[in-house]
Amino acid sequence: MALAHDVMEHLDAQVIIVGAGLSGLQAARILSKAGITNIVLEARSRPGGKCLSVPNSHGGGIADLGAEWTNDTTHPRVFALIHELDLEVERVRLDGKAVLEDLDGNVIVHPYGTQAPLPDGEERLIDQMRTVFASHYDCVDLKIPYQGTEANDDITLEQFTLRLGGTRSTLASVGVWTRVMLGCEPSELSAAYFFLYCKSQGGLMKMRSGTTQGTYCSIKTGAQSLAHGLCDLLDPGTVRLSTPVKSISDRFHSVEVRSASGEIFRARKCIVALATPLYAKVRFEPPLRKEKAEYAASTRLGRYTKILLTYQRPWWRETGLSGASQSFIGPMSATRDTSDPSTELYRITGFIAGLQAERFTELTSVEQKEMVLDQLSRLFSADMAKNPTDFVVLEWACEEWSGGCPCPFTPPGVLFSKGKYLKEPHGNVHFAGTETAEEWIGYMEGALSSGSRVAAEILSLLYNETRV
């Protein structure tokens, strides 16, 4: 699909894509299939963005340090890619009981997938809170999520909860939701954004479910296999690693992308597949529209730390536990059994997020390990918890080209006033990323969806230009 302007100016490709996460790679793959040449520039030394899979240091199998879980019915794009790449899927073990650590440090054992009983019957208030939340996110229009959000966008989720009569335990439960889902505190994000996030994933119960309703599948070779597989489907040399982008200049008939090393790439269009807070690392010429720049600058990435604890045997199962837990006091807000019996790998994965993650980063590695092992021993009433064969920590907020995870959220006063500018193109520069998706924001499915959407935008424009 040659353009008339190509004759006047040499282009390295028809499209330059900034970011080799799933959204950028999905866009590249779709454009390539349509015959559109493209180059993908990635700052990291690896593809995948927040998908990071590494071999276990003890024993076989793969450890997912970033994105991990999916669903075989609600994530059609992920599973279509899994099948295309001939990848194997492991289903999370759902047997056994779960535990909840309340604000007083009491450990409550309860059936997996149910609300734990709390003092004074407060679990009923939490159930009521879920119902009220559902009535609000059911009203969200995912195509225009910023409309009709003014009232809920003026307050934080914490304020919203307290206005409904939320107690300490209710607020603590909401805190677990926001930490695990977005890496932040209820006092940090807009209530309206939380409802949008819930709606995009089919509702709070589906999101928080560890059963087949939620994200209960993982990829045996790791989630990063999706990124590696997409790279393999592209022409050799398409993806340029260790190439951070310094500036993007729109020249009307072309776009000039300059790397930090000074290398220049020219194309007809550009796709920015970065998390919105990372736009600040790139100089846009001309500058982004004021409202779009303000939206991006206002978004925040969660503080999120993932902990992987490997053991010689699944000792928690011996007492009828599933390995799933929630804690109101931390440092881990939640844990999950992520074992792979086929490789005799027995593992608990824990999540430290929000203010707990911020405090956790200030500790020494010895203090971090001691704190986590003490909590796990307390949760599961087992000294075996203190003897892992491997202990791995990844603090995503410390990753230079991530800045946190899973995806950006907005504080009060941003979504309603500036949300419509999130996906808006900037001349020949278009934008992707899981936060721009209409479904499954923050998940791999959302990333693939956004890549498909932006590729369709580009194809439509290039097709129309050739007809002029």
What are the beta bridge partners of residue 190?
Answer: 156
Last residue of a domain, one of 351, 370, 404: 404
What are the beta bridge partners of residue 347?
Answer: 310
Same domain, 102 and 217: yes
In a domain, 415, yes or no: no
Same domain, 283 and 430: yes
Burial 341-351 (b: 16+ CB within 10 A, else e): eeeebbbbbbb
Same domain, 217 and 228: no
Q: What angle do CA 202, 205, 209 make, to 5 degrees?
A: 105
In a domain, 196, yes or no: no
Same domain, 311 and 371: yes
| pLDDT of 423 above 80 | yes
Average pLDDT over residues 29-36: 98
The answer to the question of whether 42 is labelled as a binding residue is yes
In a domain, 118, yes or no: no
The rounded distance, in Å, linking the Cα atoms of 91 and 68 is 11
Q: What is the pLDDT of residue 206?
A: 66
The rounded distance, in Å, linking the Cα atoms of 398 and 368 is 15
pTM above 0.85, yes or no: yes
Same domain, 316 and 378: yes
57-97 confidence digits (pLDDT tens): 776 788 999 999 999 989 999 999 999 999 999 888 888 99
200-236 confidence digits (pLDDT tens): 998 887 665 555 566 889 999 999 999 999 999 999 9
pLDDT bin (cut points 50, 70, 90) of residue 288 is very high
Same domain, 21 and 107: no
In a domain, 120, yes or no: no
| Domain count across the chain | 2
Find where tokens 């059994």 sit: 337
320-346 confidence digits (pLDDT tens): 999 999 999 999 999 999 998 888 889
Same domain, 351 and 369: yes
pLDDT bin (cut points 50, 70, 90) of residue 258 is very high
The answer to the question of whether 28 is labelled as a binding residue is no
CATH number, domain of 335, equals: 3.90.660.10
In a domain, 150, yes or no: no
| pLDDT of 7 above 60 | no
The answer to the question of whether 23 is labelled as a binding residue is yes
Distance of CA 269 to the CA centre of its chain: 26
Percentage of residues in the chain with pLDDT exceeding 90?
81
Specify the higher pLDDT residue, 398 or 465. Answer: 398
Contacts of 124 by beta carbon, 8 Å cutoff, 6+ apart:
none
Same domain, 214 and 344: yes
CATH number, domain of 236, equals: 3.50.50.60
In a domain, 334, yes or no: yes
Find where tokens 């303000």 sit: 294
Same domain, 218 and 339: yes
Q: What is the pLDDT of residue 6?
A: 44
Q: Is 45 helix (H, G, I), strand (E, B) or coil?
A: coil
Longest dimension (CA), the chain: 76
Same domain, 378 and 432: no
Tell me how crowded residue 466 is: count the other CB atoms within 10 A of its CB. 11
Mean pLDDT score of the chain: 93
Q: What is the pLDDT of residue 466?
A: 67
Which of 28-42, 141-155, 168-182 is the least confident region? 141-155
In a domain, 155, yes or no: no
Same domain, 390 and 462: no
In a domain, 409, yes or no: no
Domain interval for residue 270: 4-49+223-288+426-467
The rounded distance, in Å, linking the Cα atoms of 462 and 118 is 59
Same domain, 395 and 321: yes
If we measure between CA atoms, which residue out of 375, 353, 356, 455 comes closest to residue 35?
Answer: 455
